[in-house]
Amino acid sequence: MFARDRHQCQVPGCRSTNIDIHHLRARALGGTHDEWNLITLCEAHHLAIHRGTLVATGRAPNVTFTFVAANRFAIESRVVDTKRELERRGVARLVASAAVNAVRTHVGAQPLSSEEWLTLALARCAVPGA
For 56-81, the pLDDT digits (tens) are: 999 999 999 988 766 677 778 888 99
Confidence class of residue 21 from pLDDT cuts 50, 70 and 90?
very high
- Three-state SS for 64? strand
Q: Give the domain ranges of the chain.
A: 19-67, 72-125
Residues β-bridged to residue 65: 56
- The pLDDT value recorded for residue 70 is 60
Q: Which helix (H) or strand (E) holds 49?
A: helix 43-51
Rounded to a whole number of angstroms, the CA Rg of the chain reads 16
pLDDT higher at 93 or 127? 93
Rounded Cα distance, 9 and 111, in Å: 23
- Overall size of the chain counted in residues: 130
CA–centroid distance for 90 within its chain: 25
**Cis? peptide before 128, omega within 30° of 0:** no
Rounded Cα distance, 94 and 41, in Å: 33
